[in-house]
Amino acid sequence: MNIVKETWCKKIQVNLVQRVQNKLKNLSKALSKWSRETIGDVFEVVKKMEDHNILIEEQYEMDDSNHNRILLHKAQVEYIKWLKLHEYILRQKARVKWAEERDTNSKYFYSNLFTRNDDTRDTNNNLINHLNRLVIKDDNELLEAIPTEDEVRNAIYSMDPNSCAGPDGYNGLFFQSTWDIIKYDMLDYSQSE
């Protein structure tokens, strides 16, 4: 959490929207660097652990002593821990890929569906005129109201923590677990007009 706090709290002199985007981008770089330095390549570690487990199993088969059984158990526990992290990363990558492919397909579908022509323009104008009569002043004020801190926080905490990362590269869990650090920028961002 320290890396998030250090990176997020650095001053950036740009407009509000760019500030949040730049902070997210800078944080992504800092977290990637931290991950490489601290954890290393998870895929490589899993492969090394697998090879290490094979050696320990062979050792245990040759000498089934209590000491070797404990070594084998510890190696298996460590391997399972890394394997779970490996699977989590693959699941996240699969979600991102699915979302990207779905987005591409949706763009193609909607671009064909909503090809502009005069009839469509007339229909849209009629719809807007009709909606203007349906939305009363009080409703409009609610729709245009600047969100409160509680509303923004509730929106953040209503996100699925394991949701697919958005275009910024972060899922719901990031925003929820770092809320105390990022909230003022997120409030400024969501309350700007």
* Domain extent at residue 127: 116-145
pLDDT band of residue 36 (cuts 50, 70, 90) is confident
**What global pTM score does this model have?**
0.59
Give the separation between CA 173 and CA 61, rounded to whole angstroms. 43
Give the separation between CA 58 and CA 72, rounded to whole angstroms. 10
Tens of pLDDT along 7-30? 999 988 888 888 888 999 999 899
Residue 100 lies in a domain: no
Give the closest residue to 86 by CA, choosing from 52, 48, 30. 48
Residue 91 lies in a domain: no
Tens of pLDDT along 109-140? 666 655 555 566 667 777 777 776 777 777 77
Phi-psi region of 40 (alpha: psi -120 to 50; beta: other; left: phi over 0): left
Number of domains comprising the chain: 1
Residue 69 lies in a domain: no
For residue 5 the two structure tokens come to 């706090």
Give the separation between CA 3 and CA 5, rounded to whole angstroms. 6
Residue 122 lies in a domain: yes
150 compared with 42, residue with greater pLDDT: 150
Residue 191 lies in a domain: no
At what angle are helices 179-191 and 149-157 packed, to 10 degrees? 120
Residue 128 lies in a domain: yes
